[in-house]
Amino acid sequence: MHKEVLRSIAGIEIYPLISFGIFFLFFLGLLVYVFVANRQHLHDMSELPLRADGADAASEDADSAPLFDPKLC
């Protein structure tokens, strides 16, 4: 029954091709990003959860504002 309903819709055959194209381009872009990405940046980002609270780069910079200000709530 579902096949007959889908066959009766005009132009439905293009949607699987479009979805495959989006899928392929996304993973191709992801693959390019992995090979082109800055290794030092990726290494720094991978260590963020393991750093102590005061050891991240944002807290070392005196000009940076905190991400959350409890006085504003």
Alpha carbons 57 and 40: distance in angstroms, whole number: 14
Q: What is the pLDDT of residues 11-45, one digit of tens each?
A: 888 888 999 999 999 999 999 998 998 999 888 88
Give me the residue spans of the domains in the chain: 13-40
Alpha carbons 24 and 16: distance in angstroms, whole number: 12
Alpha carbons 32 and 25: distance in angstroms, whole number: 10
For the whole model, what pTM was predicted?
0.50
pLDDT at 62 over 50: no
Task: Give 30-47 as a DSSP string.
Answer: HHHHHHHS-HHHHHHHHH
Number of C-alpha atoms within 13 angstroms, CB side, residue 17?
Answer: 4
